[in-house]
Structure 1
Amino acid sequence: MKKKLGLTSKIFIGILLGAILGLILKGMPDSTFKNTILLNGILKVMGSGFITAIKMLVVPLVFVSLVCGSSSMGDVKKLGRIGIKTLCFYLITTAVAITLALGIGKLINPGIGLDMSSLITQKPTIGESKSLVDIVLGMIPANPIQSLASGEMLQIIVFSLLLGIAISMVGKKAEPIKNLFESANEICMKMVSIIMLLAPYGVFALITNTFATTGFDAIFSLLKYMFAVSLTLVLQAFVVYASMVKLSTGLKLKPFFKKFASVAAVTFSTASSNAALPLTIESMEEIGVDNSVASFTLPLGATINMDGTAIMQGVACIFISQLYGIDLGINALLTIILTATLASVGTAGVPGVGMITLSMVLTSVGLPLEGIGLIMGVDRLLDMARTTVNVMGDCACTLVVSNSEGEFNKDMYYGKDCNNLNKLSESELNKDMHQDEDCNNLNELVD
């Protein structure tokens, strides 16, 4: 029986065929068939249609998934200090990740040398005249319905989070609304899956158009983009997380990374935080984290901690802005940091959602969404790496929080044989219990 090709394989085939056709068209003289029928006809419908389909899902997906993500945090109230520490850790590391990504992007300049400004379908608008105060005030929606209709992303995020938290606080009476949003979230995920079935054809058209216009220059820029994302992921994992664990706990890092290796094998192969969650919880408990902490911080992290995804979004914003010759000022960079950090709450762990949340971040600063077509070609490889970083952040947070709460066993962390000690203690306890029973029986006999 023939094995069916997966979506990733189809996308790679689309990239390869698109690059080949694009280079062929690049070498062909201008004609009605090339320019009107192919580039501005069939390929434009396929490519632009795919981008428009992604745009269609952005607002409903963000709204519904954020409400679901924030409404599931009812345990934060119950767990008190643990909840606050966990949320602070996740939000801070996500903000650090996106800031680091923007810095590395500016340093490497992956989009410099490839001019795609001629491919912009509409003029981007970036509100550089707004002050930081205006940006913060602009996050509060005066009319949430209008914000949803006009696609004001920061306002949608704030309203979604507030609604989700309110549902969580109301509790049992809000269960019908919560169930409604969870059902809507499932529907949105299914819509994403349907749209992603068109990805190979959309990517084929977009890549063909890119190579027909730019030739081999696109390959070099893509390699620089991949290097920038990979470098930032490595820095986040082995500098940011390692430093936070070391400074907060004083523990040696080798046992942590050694144990995480088994989790990384699953996250890298599946590109899914949720798929690795059972193994992640088990692994953290095996190195001394109490279940009461791990069972809260890790599922919450799988929902709201998306540092690797934020890194991709940061580098992609720099990459796309440079491709189209658009300068991002300080206000635009701050908007990207705010949007990507807040958008990490509730981001679903399914294929294709990373690209849709990227389109949300791009929309927040008015960057052209057409650049996504170029990035999608290499996204699957980077997705596996950034998912691994996401889960490493969850584990680092769990270790830091459990240690600060005194719910951590250092002997287990360093691999000392506590099992034999526990078994010995249990056998001694059973022996004492038997002795007590014998004494009781003897006393009853004497009586």
Structure 2
Amino acid sequence: MKIKGNMTVRIIIALIAGIAIGSFFNLYQDASWVKWINQYVFNVIGQIFLNLIFMLVVPVVFVSIVLGVLGVGDPKHLGSIGLKTISFFLVTTALAITLAMSLALVFKPGEGKSDLLNSDEVKTYAEEQKKKAAEAEAEGSPANQTFDQTLINLIPKNPVLAMSETNMLQVITFAIFIGIGMIALREKVSAVKLLFEQTNEILMFIVTAIMQYFAPLGTFGLVATAFTNAGFGAIKQLAMYFFVVLLGLFLHMILVYGGAVSFLARRNPIWFFKGFAPAMTVGFSSSSSNATLPISLECAQDNLEVRKEISSFVQPLGATINMDGTAIMQGVATIFISQISGVDLTLGQMVTVVVIAVVASIGTAGVPGAGLVMLAMVLTSVGLNPAAIGIILGIDRLLDMTRTAVNISGDAACAVVISEQEKRYLAKKGMKVA
């Protein structure tokens, strides 16, 4: 089974319907009948669809990474692909936040909005964060994971526990070790290799079936409940901030990803965006890179002709460490908060923001709202009050949907670039391209 074009159209129709109906319901969000429909219809439909996808995330990632490593074959070649992948992600993330900060400095979304710092949202957010920090301290766990802890936690103490907790970096690490072990043992584990290949076929069949029969309805439910809760009303005061973030996301998608596909992969960017559209719509509705991963893999392999071993390695890794859309939000938000606070950031501080955001993106969970945790780290690093995040909370859910679509598009763009480069490399060597 493959994701078909008519299904993409149905998802887009469902997405538009969800936005329209959710926005209308937002006008009456305090009415009891709206609350009932939102909770027992929109939310139930959306969460069931999301759980169906989340159910497959860990097995799909684990099996895909193992098969990806096996497909590459040579551990040295795997290291080369890994280095290219991480370099692509880090460079594009740095470009994303630099673009975002530049746009914010030009459009000045926070100018003349200093009164927002006295809002109830700021006070409420500050109180909530104090409670969370106190709870984390009582449990003996840090509120924010530092970079050195991220490196240490790459290796799972208990792989089964890592899978149950959806710790994707640890799942990926364990899968890489399993794949390398199978390469070393070769024919001795041919039965295990066949088991992984057949398991992958089953998982991809289930993913495609979910997309064909549940995706439009699930997309409608998720988008409808998001817009019923948030609506466009909250955008009025923060219209310029909202506009600058969306502009940054759009320009990054077209210029950086479109440019990478055109110049590095030598493929048509329109072909890329059209082929990846189903995953982008699911990413928009779910606000989760991890939840969208099974669909992202299917789209990349079937629609974008990415070699399975490349897609299986690059995209799961990207869902964990590649957060360009999130970086754009952080760049705009940092300048926005500095402007309403009356603080002019120095060049050195802006460079610090870029570095911290790029480093912090590694290990950040691919789930809704994770970007706000990263933003708090960025603001603290340049002496700005993280409680000001409360100002943008009202519209962050809407922006989170858009930046997730950008995040997963970056993963796919990287997979296309590396896959096409590998095809050209094999062709020069006179080897048959699988």
Do residues 235 (structure 1) and 224 (structure 2) align? Answer: no
CA-to-aligned-CA distance 1:146-196 (integer Å, 9 cap, x gap): xx9999x8xx6331243245x3xxxxxxx426667777887xxxxxxxxxx
Partner of 2:78: 79
1:350 shift after superposition: 2.3
Alpha-carbon spacing, 1:223–1:282, altered in 2? closer, same or farther (3 Å): same
Do residues 293 (structure 1) and 310 (structure 2) align? Answer: yes
Alpha-carbon spacing, 1:162–1:219, altered in 2? closer, same or farther (3 Å): closer
- The whole-number CA distance in structure 2 between the counterparts of 1:150 and 1:300 is 24
1:56-95 matches, within 5 Å, as 79-95=78-94
Alpha-carbon spacing, 1:323–1:77, altered in 2? closer, same or farther (3 Å): farther
Task: Find 2:157's aligned residue among 172, 176, 181.
Answer: 176
CA-to-aligned-CA distance 1:344-391 (integer Å, 9 cap, x gap): 112112233222221111111121122211100110111111000001
Match of 2:157, SS state, is: helix
1:406-417 matches, within 5 Å, as 406=423
Do residues 374 (structure 1) and 391 (structure 2) align? Answer: yes
Task: Find 1:259's aligned residue among 243, 258, 275.
Answer: 275
- The whole-number CA distance in structure 1 between the counterparts of 2:26 and 2:389 is 17
Alpha-carbon spacing, 1:99–1:296, altered in 2? closer, same or farther (3 Å): same
CA RMSD of aligned residues (A): 3.7
Judge conservation of contact 1:267–1:276 (CA < 8 Å) in 2.
yes
1:202-281 matches, within 5 Å, as 222-281=238-297
Partner of 2:327: 310
- The whole-number CA distance in structure 2 between the counterparts of 1:353 and 1:87 is 20
1:49-198 matches, within 5 Å, as 79-116=78-115, 119=118, 157-165=146-154, 167=155, 175-176=156-157
Judge conservation of contact 2:100–2:245 (CA < 8 Å) in 1.
yes
CA-to-aligned-CA distance 1:412-447 (integer Å, 9 cap, x gap): xxxxxxxxxx9xxxxxxxxxxxxxxxxxxxxxxxxx
| Structure 1 range deviating more: 301-310 or 369-378 | 369-378
Judge conservation of contact 1:336–1:361 (CA < 8 Å) in 2.
yes
Partner of 1:282: 298
Q: Which runs of 5+ in 2 are unaligned?
A: 1-21, 31-64, 70-74, 124-139, 168-228, 428-433
Match of 1:326, SS state, is: coil
Task: Write the letter of the residue equivalent to 1:159.
Answer: D
Judge conservation of contact 2:262–2:269 (CA < 8 Å) in 1.
yes
Task: Write the letter of the residue equivalent to 1:274.
Answer: N
- The whole-number CA distance in structure 2 between the counterparts of 1:13 and 1:259 is 33
Do residues 405 (structure 1) and 419 (structure 2) align? Answer: no
Judge conservation of contact 1:362–1:368 (CA < 8 Å) in 2.
yes
Judge conservation of contact 2:116–2:391 (CA < 8 Å) in 1.
no
Identity %: 44
Match of 1:351, SS state, is: coil
- The whole-number CA distance in structure 2 between the counterparts of 1:280 and 1:409 is 25
Alpha-carbon spacing, 1:366–1:278, altered in 2? closer, same or farther (3 Å): same
Task: Write the letter of the residue equivalent to 1:231.
Answer: L
Task: Write the letter of the residue equivalent to 1:157.
Answer: T
**Runs (4+) of structure 1 moved beyond 3 Å?**
72-78, 116-121, 148-151, 177-186, 218-221, 407-410
- The whole-number CA distance in structure 1 between the counterparts of 2:281 and 2:249 is 16
1:269 shift after superposition: 1.2
Partner of 1:441: none
Partner of 1:356: 373
Normalising by structure 2, we get a TM-score of 0.58
1:260 shift after superposition: 1.3
Alpha-carbon spacing, 1:163–1:382, altered in 2? closer, same or farther (3 Å): same
1:313-392 matches, within 5 Å, as 313-392=330-409
- The whole-number CA distance in structure 2 between the counterparts of 1:346 and 1:330 is 27
- The whole-number CA distance in structure 2 between the counterparts of 1:180 and 1:359 is 28
- The whole-number CA distance in structure 2 between the counterparts of 1:251 and 1:290 is 15
Task: Write the letter of the residue equivalent to 1:300.
Answer: L
